[in-house]
């Protein structure tokens, strides 16, 4: 379908090829005449559409509402309030002419530069296509879905108007449509069954009440609620907000992607089972690919709706709040909320979850956890930690060349371990889960993830984003520049090859074991204080005892 969509440099050698591709596009978009006879179809009234406030909707349709039906019959109905599709019809002009008009309007905006990624345009740091408060996305999906526009015509017209730099990002998303169809063809049950079968056994802790509040836009998080109410009113939201709301459902409420798929399929005017299934499976980490990021509902709001105009449009109960509190109304002083006529759990909803608050053990009056008791027992001065055993590490080159994890004694015998000191460079402490009783990673699954991440960190310039818990709880935390890992030689501490493991097999002596392995374990606080970086390996793993996916919160990001 998109044979013409090849991102090639159009230099002297490619001019003839480029001309032929343009000719092919011209042939592909010829206007077709009407068929000699239209196929038979039910009328809108028979389908239960048309007037959606309850009138002429069969009682077995979900849109039917007995109260609205009675109000319409008696003539007391107010369309803006009693017709749930009123905003939808107002928002979407229908037909081919309207679709063509919308395409041309968007091409003008795109030529100006509205559809650009973050940091690549001087007029907007958030990235134009991410902005919730601007009409800077194409909004063509319903027209393509119902055939008012063909994908080939959109591609042809885009290539006519926009330069390679401006059109590449948009056309990539058009091509994703075909990718979704290909996936559905090969995985016909992907709309209801996880492509990665182990995820079918995953236990979800979210409740039906939380699902209902997400569906209604009553989570207590303004950006999520505004997006979900826009979805219900007009049957659409921009792609970035679909990511935000989907991740809130899966990552924060811990509800299955299938619940989100069903609701989107019911409410989107551009719903497409192939695209819907592909994206929700990616969000649920069970698809062929998966999202490797998590969006914070508060900081995402400040990024895509910096002035709060989008929230005020869809959540009028918050319209009087100052901009600094529009995405976190619970943080506003009581006097500010009263003057803005915002009462939490009165006018606006109490948050469905409060994970973004300080942890319970840090709140006065709460019983301290064992970890907190241990932390308080440690000295404040890092130099007070005694190093009872040398801090053995491996260099980044050795770590990247590993194909299996071998114990301390074998690496030391080969001369691959280095007793780390500050003049050698920087150290990283690697924390991980043991996947077997005698070996931390027998199939090299966790370490391979670390190797992949490390290769990217050492070969690219940029920043490592913060996880959402750190963002929420540590306000002063900032993303880590990858340059910090590249400036000096890097060494890694990993317990299995940094601490003695096999001496009891050779000496059969508890005394020898206690003098070396125990000393190394007691030295861990000293090792941590020496390390510039602390890395936690949290990949998706299978529990060896229960044959199911491990702790859900241990997903890799």
Domain ranges of the chain: 197-340, 392-536
Chain centre to alpha carbon of residue 94: 32
**Given CA atoms 514, 516, 518, 523 in this order, what sign does their dihedral have?**
positive
Of 350, 349, 323, 352, the C-alpha closest to 336 is 323
The pLDDT value recorded for residue 366 is 43
The pLDDT value recorded for residue 37 is 83
The pLDDT value recorded for residue 425 is 93
The pLDDT value recorded for residue 344 is 60
Which residues of the chain fall short of a pLDDT of 50? 1-26, 50-57, 122, 126, 357-366, 369, 371, 382, 504, 506-511, 513, 540, 543-557
Q: Return binding residues.
A: 115, 137-141, 170, 270-272
The pLDDT value recorded for residue 19 is 33
Strands (DSSP E) contained in 420-472 are 426-431, 463-464
Take residue 351 and report the two structure tokens written for it. 């948050």
Measure the CA–CA gap between 259 and 341, rounded to whole angstroms: 34
The pLDDT value recorded for residue 380 is 55
Q: What is the fold, at CATH topology level, of the domain defined by 197-340?
A: DNA Cyclobutane Dipyrimidine Photolyase, subunit A; domain 3 (1.10.579)
What CA–CA distances, in Å, run from 310 to 85, 227, 268, 304, 306? 20, 9, 19, 9, 9
The pLDDT value recorded for residue 322 is 92
Of 542, 493, 541, 539, the C-alpha closest to 520 is 493
Our CA dihedral for 223, 225, 228, 232, rounded to 10 degrees, sits at -130
Q: Return binding residues for FAD.
A: 115, 137-141, 170, 270-272
Residue recorded with tokens 């030295």: 523
- What is the number of alpha carbons within 13 Å of residue 37 lying toward its C-beta? 2
The pLDDT value recorded for residue 376 is 58
Measure the CA–CA gap between 412 and 502, rounded to whole angstroms: 12
The pLDDT value recorded for residue 361 is 33
Q: Are 425 and 402 in contact (CB under 8 A)?
A: no
Residue recorded with tokens 């998590």: 294
Alpha-helical regions (H) of 219-333: 222-234, 239-247, 257-267, 273-283, 297-304, 309-314
């Amino acid at each position: 379908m998109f044979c013409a969509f090849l991102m090639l440099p159009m230099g002297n050698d490619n001019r003839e090829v480029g001309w032929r591709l343009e000719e092919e596009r011209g042939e592909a978009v010829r206007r077709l005449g009407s068929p000699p006879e239209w196929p038979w179809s039910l009328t809108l009234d028979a389908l239960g559409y048309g007037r959606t406030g309850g009138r002429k909707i069969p009682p077995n349709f979900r849109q039917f509402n007995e109260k609205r039906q009675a109000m319409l019959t008696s003539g007391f109905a107010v369309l803006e309030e009693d017709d749930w599709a009123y905003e939808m019809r107002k928002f979407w002009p229908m037909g081919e002419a309207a679709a063509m008009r919308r395409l041309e309007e968007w091409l003008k905006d795109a030529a100006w530069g509205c559809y650009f990624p973050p940091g690549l345009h001087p007029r907007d740091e958030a990235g134009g296509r991410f902005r919730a408060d601007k009409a800077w996305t194409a909004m063509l999906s319903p027209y393509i879905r119902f055939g008012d526009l063909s994908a080939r015509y959109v591609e042809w017209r885009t290539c006519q108007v926009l330069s390679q730099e401006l059109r590449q990002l948009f056309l990539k998303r058009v091509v994703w449509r075909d990718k979704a169809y290909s996936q559905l063809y090969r995985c016909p049950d992907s709309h209801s069954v996880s492509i990665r079968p182990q995820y079918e056994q995953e236990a979800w802790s979210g409740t039906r009440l939380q699902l209902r509040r997400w569906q209604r836009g009553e989570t207590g998080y303004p950006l999520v609620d505004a997006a979900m109410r826009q979805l219900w009113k007009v049957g659409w939201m921009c792609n970035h907000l679909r990511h935000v709301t989907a991740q809130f459902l899966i990552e924060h409420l811990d509800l299955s992607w299938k619940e989100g798929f069903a609701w989107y399929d019911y409410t989107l005017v551009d719903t497409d089972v192939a695209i819907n299934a592909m994206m929700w499976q990616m969000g649920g980490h069970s698809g062929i690919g998966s999202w490797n990021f998590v969006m914070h509902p508060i900081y995402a709001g400040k990024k895509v709706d910096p002035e709060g105009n989008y929230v005020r449009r869809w959540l009028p109960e918050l319209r009087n709040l100052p901009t600094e509190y529009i995405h976190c109304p619970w943080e506003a002083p009581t006097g500010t909320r009263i003057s803005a006529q915002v009462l939490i759990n009165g006018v606006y909803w109490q948050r469905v979850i409060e994970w973004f608050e300080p942890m319970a053990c840090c709140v006065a009056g709460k019983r301290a956890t064992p970890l907190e008791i241990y932390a308080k027992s440690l000295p404040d001065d890092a130099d007070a930690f005694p190093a009872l055993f040398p801090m053995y590490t491996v260099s980044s080159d050795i770590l990247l060349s590993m194909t299996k994890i071998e114990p301390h004694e074998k690496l030391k015998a080969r001369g691959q371990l280095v007793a780390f000191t500050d003049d050698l460079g920087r150290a990283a402490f690697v924390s991980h889960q043991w996947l077997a009783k005698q070996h931390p990673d027998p199939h090299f699954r966790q370490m391979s993830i670390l190797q992949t991440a490390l290769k990217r960190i050492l070969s690219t310039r940029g920043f490592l984003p913060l996880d959402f818990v750190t963002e929420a709880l540590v306000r002063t935390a900032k993303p880590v520049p990858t340059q910090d890992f590249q400036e000096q030689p890097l060494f890694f501490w990993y317990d299995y090859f940094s601490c003695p493991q096999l001496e009891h097999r050779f000496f059969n002596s508890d005394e020898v074991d206690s003098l070396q392995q125990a000393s190394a374990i007691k030295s861990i606080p000293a090792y941590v204080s020496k390390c510039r970086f602390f890395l936690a390996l949290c990949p998706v793993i299978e529990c060896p005892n229960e044959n199911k996916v491990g702790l859900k919160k241990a997903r890799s990001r």
